[in-house]
Amino acid sequence: MQGESRVRAQVVVVGGGPVGMLIAAELAGYGVDTVLLESRADVSEQPKATTLHARAVQTLARRGHLPGQGYPYTEGPVESPFHFAGLPGLTITAPAREPEPILKCPQAELERHFEARARAAGARILREHQVREVVQDDHGVRVTTDGPQGGTVCFAEYVVGADGARSTVRDQAGIASDTHPATVSALMGAVTLAKPDELPKGWHRTERGWIVAKLDAEGRTHIRTLNCDGAHPDRQLPPTLEELRREVSWIAGRDITMDAPRWLSRFSDFARLARTFRAGRVFLVGDAAHVHFPIGGQGLSTGVLDALNLGWKLALTVHGSAGAGLLDTYDLERRPVARRVIDQTQAQLALMRPGPELDALRRVFTGVLSADREHGYLGGLISAQDTVLPGHTEGSRRATGTFLRNAVLSTATGETDVIGLLRDGRPLLLLLGEESSGHQEEAREWEGDLYVVRARPTPEVPHNALLVRPDGYISWASGESCDLTDALSAYFVKSVVPKSTVPEGTVSVEHP
């Protein structure tokens, strides 16, 4: 089409929030030619998510994407206080030698961090490009955009939609959704209070709703409100300072004077779950795939885990190494997790609704939270540390689908750990002791796609051989009723490596 520039890539990512930037960084890091299209000119400074939960933090550490210099080891399990439905007493625990279970980092900072990593890995970031059409066929996908210099047409093998709740990619791909209509109205914004002491930091529940207040470094108070009387008649209508003042004053039961508003917005408990996270060559991640009531700070973490689940699978596919059904496992693994997040945020909202009939339930649940410290059910639910992936081979059981904790390993070249080994980005075949020698021979035809490491046996890894995915989940363990070759066939095509050689780039570290 005359007047339009043309761009070719292996993968186009639509949407440059933190989830889109992260998957672009992942793909580019694997050597995939990646283009990211973002409609905004710059990173938005509007306060949004600030919480990353334990499983997202742990997986980011394994892939080398965790912000900051390195990651702090902990000698023993670390507990972080949190809340459930605004009720105090929840404890989220991370195992020993893992990062702390809750990372507080503004969304804008994460976006900048992931963008820098994406650019450094070679991804092309095209800002001020608004996508207007996505068309796929058996050979690829065409993405048409309006950019600052006119139209741009991108041709790619695959497209990832990371373009938020109102996803153009989702709509253009014809992916239907299951939705739950809004039943509450909520406001958020930053203001200057005439009397800051009238609304101290924390969660405030009254018989009319909730107010959450937090003071920033500039002296502004960040406010969120929850009104359970019903949904706002027009969720798209921009809120005003007067509306926020009236709402806060009504919930508080007294007049709260405020001025200098910034970043006013509204939200609700509207929920959406795409019926599939994949349509041919198009994939959805983050809010494009799932939306829920933002209680418990789980939205960003869920999107991050989407990206880290899909990235290595898509990279293997682009490079021609993926097993036939590998890309289908993305939807099979991530959609049930998103369903659970929607369910438990709706359950939290039910506990937050005002009314004396719920006071007794809240008192009972406060006791449940205290008792749960020992068992960790709710902490695992919020932090996604309870996630066990479905098996994709016959006979998968026990360890398969669980997350491998960060064990210390002794190799011929010295001590290392699981986090350090997974930085390589390839699936890890971990062989512990002489009994595991036969497994290396079983894997010979796939070694070009594996990072093979031999180490001393350790009680921290109760198996003599493990196949570990780049995102930290175990896809096979010795003692399972399925063979290693079955597990490898589900993930990779054979690389047909001569038995007398070790493929270039494959590391086999003999234990001392």
Number of structural domains in the chain = 3
- Environment class of 508 (CB within 10 Å of its CB; exposed 0-12, middle 13-18, buried 19+): middle
At 236, which CATH number? 3.30.70.2450
Please list the pLDDT of the chain residue by residue as tens digits (512 residues).
446 899 999 999 999 999 999 999 999 999 999 999 999 999 999 989 999 999 999 999 999 999 875 666 677 889 999 999 999 999 999 999 999 999 999 999 999 999 999 999 999 999 999 999 999 999 999 999 999 999 999 999 999 999 999 999 999 999 999 999 999 999 999 999 999 999 999 999 999 999 999 999 889 999 999 999 999 998 889 999 999 999 999 999 999 999 999 999 999 999 999 999 999 999 999 999 999 999 999 999 999 999 999 999 999 999 999 998 999 999 999 999 999 999 999 999 999 999 888 999 999 999 999 888 888 999 999 999 999 999 766 655 678 999 999 999 999 889 999 999 999 999 999 999 887 888 988 999 998 889 999 999 999 998 899 999 999 999 999 987 788 999 999 888 876 443 333 333 333 333 33
- Alpha carbon dihedral 474, 476, 481, 484, in 10-degree steps, equals 180
Domain boundary among 214, 242, 267: 267
At 475, which CATH number? 3.40.30.120
pTM across the whole model:
0.93
Is the same domain home to 37 and 68?
yes
Look up residue 229 and give its two tokens. 């009387």
Is the same domain home to 165 and 289?
yes
Which range of residues forms the domain containing residue 436? 408-509
Distance CA 197, CA 256 (A): 10
Is the same domain home to 495 and 348?
no
At 104, which CATH number? 3.50.50.60
CA angle 99, 96, 306 (to 5 degrees): 45
CB 430 within 8 A of CB 442: no
Is the same domain home to 24 and 122?
yes
User: Which of 333, 483, 482, 486 is closest to 403 using CA atoms?
Assistant: 333
- The count of other CB atoms within 10 Å of the CB of residue 392 is 21
Q: What is the pLDDT of residue 71?
A: 60
| Helix, strand, coil % over all residues of the chain, rounded to 5 | 30, 30, 40
Backbone angles phi, psi at 86, to 5 degrees: 80, -5
In a domain, 399, yes or no: no
Q: Which residue has the tokens 């900048």?
A: 112
Q: Which residue has the tokens 């997974």?
A: 422
- The count of other CB atoms within 10 Å of the CB of residue 207 is 10
Q: 12 forms bridges with which residues in the sheet?
A: 35, 159
Is the same domain home to 294 and 253?
no
Distance CA 307, CA 18 (A): 10
Q: What HEC string does 393-410 produce?
A: CCCCCCCCCCECCCCEEE
